[in-house]
A and B are shown apart, each in its own frame.
Chain A
């Protein structure tokens, strides 16, 4: 077992933990943040698996576009809820 194996195992455990937290969080904004950090860790995982192409795509879509769209959807939803 080299150092990189331990890093891989640590990342895998953290991925499962973050996925669990993203599903089971009480507030939606926390779920979105956990999902974003999950994508960020998945990027490191892809780089360790020597798939830089997938890593670039995941970094842009997973932690960039999807997170910001989710956050602003949450903002919009909350405003409409207040009016009613």
Chain B
């Protein structure tokens, strides 16, 4: 009876949403919207500050934003300041976890689970592959889907694999903390360099190069690799805090 009422309520709410969207000017039918007048078209054409002509992959140079991946162009170039805030949010959350669960003398949490030899060796072999995939995704963030955040999380999940497959293992967490602070400070320093050497915060000071090259888009790959390192080490620290407890 309770489930039936819940189903009825859900169907009613779904019907309400459907009817309110059906005759709404803000949500036109598929194909009816004029996309060329939207803001997104300006980002795709790289013509926010003025028309730059046709954007051709592998040929275009000196665009106002270099990355071939439009999502990266928005996240790490047009809206880079927002990304700095996002990274700060992640930093604050990992700080909170460390304050609640961290302590001076930590040892591994005793789980009712003891991996055997095969699992330990197999996970060591897989660790390298996952780590390299994460680094690849972070480095190619300006060309292919992905980037700093998924790449960093992949690096952290390779650390998680090592933690789960060996109940004695602990990473050198101090190194991770150093790496995290260095990467975070470098991001802010790049922003300040743009402010003092150029004209605004996080300005792209290096040349953009040819659209689609690995060494293109100026500062964007550097920033995305820094974000990848920061996110990876931060989430590894959170995982370490989750899987350790205070020893005696």
Hey, which bits of chain A sit against chain B, CB under 8 A? 52-53, 55-57, 60-61, 64-65, 68-69, 72-73, 75-76, 78-79, 82
B113 at interface, CB cutoff 8 A: yes
A65 and B111 contact, CB distance less than 8 A: no
B113 and A75 contact, CB distance less than 8 A: yes
| B71 contacts across to A, CB distance below 8 A | 53
Hey, which bits of chain B sit against chain A, CB under 8 A? 69, 71, 109-113, 137, 145-147, 149-150, 153-154, 156-157, 160, 164, 235, 239, 242-243
Residue in B110, B156, B235 whose CB lies within 8 Å of A79: B110
A78 and B164 contact, CB distance less than 8 A: no
Residue in B69, B150, B154, B243 whose CB lies within 8 Å of A72: B243
User: Is chain A's interface secondary structure helix, strand, loop, or mixed overall?
Assistant: helix
B112 and A56 contact, CB distance less than 8 A: no
In angstroms, Cα B101 to Cα A73, docked, is 14
Minimal beta-carbon separation of A14 from chain B (angstroms): 17
In angstroms, Cα B147 to Cα A64, docked, is 17
B157 and A53 contact, CB distance less than 8 A: no
In angstroms, Cα B146 to Cα A79, docked, is 38
In angstroms, Cα B151 to Cα A64, docked, is 13
Residue in B109, B145, B150 whose CB lies within 8 Å of A60: B150
| B110 contacts across to A, CB distance below 8 A | 79
Closest to B158 in A: A64
Q: Known contacts A56-B137, A76-B111: does B146 contact A65 (CB below 8 Å)?
A: no
B164 and A61 contact, CB distance less than 8 A: no
A79 and B111 contact, CB distance less than 8 A: yes
Known: A53-B146, A75-B113. 16 other contacts (CB 8 A): A52-B146, A55-B145, A57-B149, A60-B150, A60-B157, A64-B157, A64-B160, A68-B160, A68-B164, A69-B239, A72-B111, A73-B242, A75-B111, A75-B112, A76-B111, A78-B112
In angstroms, Cα B109 to Cα A82, docked, is 15
Closest to B3 in A: A24
A65 and B235 contact, CB distance less than 8 A: yes
In angstroms, Cα B112 to Cα A53, docked, is 37
| A60 contacts across to B, CB distance below 8 A | 150, 153-154, 157
In angstroms, Cα B157 to Cα A53, docked, is 18
